[in-house]
Amino acid sequence: MSTTPPASRRLLVVILCALALALSCSRGIAAVSSVAGDDAAFLRCLWAAVPQRLVHTRGSPSYAAALVSSVRNLRFVAPGTPTPLAIVAAAEASHAQAAVRCGRRHGVRVRARSGGHDYEGLSYMSLDRRERFAVLDLAALREVRVDAERAEAWVGSGATLGELYYAVGAASRTLAFPAGICPTVGVGGHISGGGFGTLMRQYGLAADNVLDAVLVDADGQLLNRTTMGEDLFWAIRGGGGESFGVVLSWKLRLIRVPETVTVFTIRRARNQSATDLITKWQEISPSLPGDIILRVVVQSHHAQFESLFLGRCSRLARLMRARFPELGMTQSDCEEITWVQSTVYFAFYSSSEPLELLLDRGTKPDRYFKAKSDYVQEPIPSHIWESTWAWLEEHDAGLLILDPYGGEMARVSPAATPFPHRKGNLYNLQYYSFWFEHGAGTLEKHLSWVKGLYNVMGPYVSKNPRTGYVNYRDIDLGRNEIEGNVTSYTKGRIWGEKYFKGNFERLAAVKAMVDPDDFFRNEQSIPPLPAAKGWSSI
């Protein structure tokens, strides 16, 4: 039988293809005709370079699902939230380049979104109703390539931490990557802001372990470490997402861990001396050896001590007996598992859950939340901890998360990356409120709880400035204002020095160098340093 279609069938195929093309174009034209002038030009520009099925416009049936696909916070999908003109679901680098070039040409800003976990929703919504913007969604750019022999990996920004951990664990039982705890967090935003987790005390931040990156700059060009230069490479490793370009992928240094690591979780109630334990913990945990982390989550009536140790249970139990006997940890509290199982353990509080849970990205938000953060440099007195119980008991939906620094975190110079919270910081303190219900007064109740507790803690945390962690973005710290056509440096310093301290000025100088027109902009993006100020080392 011949495989060549007869001429009549070939003609039919050609006609059907032409019809399909005409139909898809006419859908595009219909959608374009319903949007304003420049917006339509932007969409036409996009469609010349990106397949239409990857561009979700307000009129298309796929738009709502595409918008919420990686959103974590219900607060920012409430009716009335300003939405993007389009969501561009990039499937290759050229799509991201086209989004930037078309956006620049037609005055549509591009907000990059990797995992959508931004605490203030800035990767997919704007607080300015007049802003014309599109979301550049990178979720499809999530390949992870591990080179176990060289202990390196390339990871697409759209991968989640869970996908990265799964791939590293599948390649080797003795390789790991030091990054955050929640597996659905996106690699793109996380590394851009620093990224800390259970391995930070031995290996530092995720951003400390980046070897190279591929970035789309404000001209739509693809750059790597060599072509972007060391100033820009410095800025993207902790200077916060969005400001300098869109990072498409990162080359990571993987770290070596023992085949067996140990975890434990010990819960102590308020009436079981939890206050004394937290008070003591503040002095002990930042000075423990780097291969152990002991963090605390405090909620309503109890404090939960959670630990990962890069070694066996017997050694850990000896160490805890010697350094923190009051906790009463014994070998029966331990579980010995692999590092990748420990990532499941910290996410789901059980090591027996399947590793495949790490691959579950989720498809829509399930809760509302608001958080704020502080750095603690002197132990907070016991009577203050005692008084926080009243706050926590009043509000079942509130948590305090205490992540100890010290170890490698204190050894890295505060100027090595934009993340300045190194030596001298005992721990990061996060105030977190989450809720599921909506209705009159609910939002205000939760916001005022977080703000109230944050205010009460003011005298006991870092000062001048009172610092916070950019990945725990907090819009209350300040919001950009536009002067002329660009973001005001003077106004930006108000929030910027809280996240970046002395590194803010260098970040602004890099911004002036790589994006002087301030195309990559959001409510807390780095402003360009005004020319008059200059900056000597650039």
Minimum Å distance from CB 249 to ligand FDA?
9
Minimum Å distance from CB 279 to ligand FDA?
24
Minimum Å distance from CB 210 to ligand FDA?
13
Note if the bond before 465 is cis, omega within 30 degrees.
yes
Residue placing its CB nearer to ligand FDA in the complex, 31 or 134: 134
Q: Which long-range contacts (CB under 8 A, 24 or more apart) does 302-305 make?
A: 302/267, 302/268, 302/269, 302/270, 302/274, 303/267, 303/268, 303/270, 303/274, 303/277, 303/278, 304/265, 304/266, 304/267, 304/268, 305/264, 305/265, 305/266, 305/267, 305/268, 305/277, 305/281, 305/329
User: Using CA atoms in the order 327, 328, 334, 339, what is the torsion angle rounded to 10 degrees?
Assistant: 20
Give the residue nearest to ligand FDA (CB): 241
Residue placing its CB nearer to ligand FDA in the complex, 317 or 526: 526
Q: For residue 46, which of 174, 135, 158 has the smallest C-alpha distance?
A: 135
Residue placing its CB nearer to ligand FDA in the complex, 182 or 384: 182
Residue placing its CB nearer to ligand FDA in the complex, 56 or 317: 56
Using CA atoms, how far apart are residues 329 and 306, in angstroms rounded to an integer? Answer: 11
Minimum Å distance from CB 524 to ligand FDA?
8
**Alpha-carbon distances of 51 from 28, 30, 44, 312, rounded to whole Å:** 11, 16, 11, 52
Using CA atoms, how far apart are residues 121 and 156, in angstroms rounded to an integer? Answer: 21
Residue placing its CB nearer to ligand FDA in the complex, 28 or 156: 156
Residue placing its CB nearer to ligand FDA in the complex, 72 or 95: 72
- The residue type found at 275 is T
Minimum Å distance from CB 152 to ligand FDA?
19
Coil, helix or strand at residue 386: helix
Three-state DSSP string of 130-194: CCCEEEEECCCCCCEEEECCCCEEEEECCCEHHHHHHHHHHHCCCEECCCCCCCCCEHHHHHHHC
Residue placing its CB nearer to ligand FDA in the complex, 115 or 468: 115
Minimum Å distance from CB 199 to ligand FDA?
11
Which residues does 221 contact at the CB level (< 8 Å), separation at least 6?
A: 97
Residue placing its CB nearer to ligand FDA in the complex, 180 or 286: 180
Residue placing its CB nearer to ligand FDA in the complex, 28 or 178: 178
Residue placing its CB nearer to ligand FDA in the complex, 155 or 317: 155
Coil, helix or strand at residue 59: coil
Minimum Å distance from CB 489 to ligand FDA?
19
Minimum Å distance from CB 19 to ligand FDA?
38
Residue placing its CB nearer to ligand FDA in the complex, 72 or 395: 72
**Alpha-carbon distances of 124 from 69, 97, 121, rounded to whole Å:** 11, 18, 6
Minimum Å distance from CB 141 to ligand FDA?
8
DSSP labels for 206-228?
Answer: SGGGEEEEEEE-TTS-EE-HHHH
Q: For residue 86, which of 118, 115, 109, 70 has the smallest C-alpha distance?
A: 109
Residue pair 370/72 in contact by the 8 Å Cβ criterion: no
Minimum Å distance from CB 112 to ligand FDA?
4
Where along the sequence are the contacts to ligand FDA (CB under 6 A)?
A: 72, 111-119, 122-123, 138, 157, 180-182, 185-186, 188-190, 192-193, 195-197, 241-242, 246-247, 471, 522
Minimum Å distance from CB 242 to ligand FDA?
4
Using CA atoms, how far apart are residues 404 and 426, in angstroms rounded to an integer? Answer: 6
